Amino acid sequence: MHIPPVLQLLFWAVIAWGLARLFPGLAWDWGGQDVTAAVLALAGIGVAVAGIVQFRRHRTTVNPVALERASAIVTDGVYRYSRNPMYLGLALVLTGWVTLLGNPLGALTIIGFVVVMTIIQIAPEERVLAKKFGAEYAAYLKRTRRWL
């Protein structure tokens, strides 16, 4: 079952909002909360866009459903630090949202996002890319972390 990553982000963001509404007594409010949330979200957008730019530079698909159209393994730029900067960026956007909501239960949604994305999106992608690119991809897996 494939659920687009952006819809995954929206799903977990709604869950975080719901948890904040169901358990308002757990909310925290601290100086700089809004700024911190904005910085996290903007950093996430920046990381995700950097990943997209690298894919475009290498003229390979950014479509997570069309892996058969992948024409290159991108290992430079932000991909030196994370094999999945686009998904990492979405996780940072979610972290910004959870910070803005100010409810610690929201951290569960970040964990949920990472676990679900790893299982239903990243692991299948890795299997396809390993078959397609063989030893070159295996070497990349060894030297670069999945998330960060």
| Domain segments of the chain as ranges | 32-143
pLDDT single digits (tens) 44-74: 999 999 999 999 999 998 888 787 888 999 9
Does residue 44 sit in helix, strand or coil?
A: helix
Residue identified by tokens 């094999």 is: 83
Position 115 pLDDT exceeds 80: yes
Nearest 10 degrees: Cα torsion 29, 34, 35, 37: 100
Q: What is the CA radius of gyration of the chain?
A: 17
Residue 94: CB atoms within 10 Å = 26
pLDDT tens track for 82-94: 999 999 999 999 9
Kindly report the length of the chain: 148
Weakest-pLDDT range from 31-45, 56-70, 105-119: 56-70
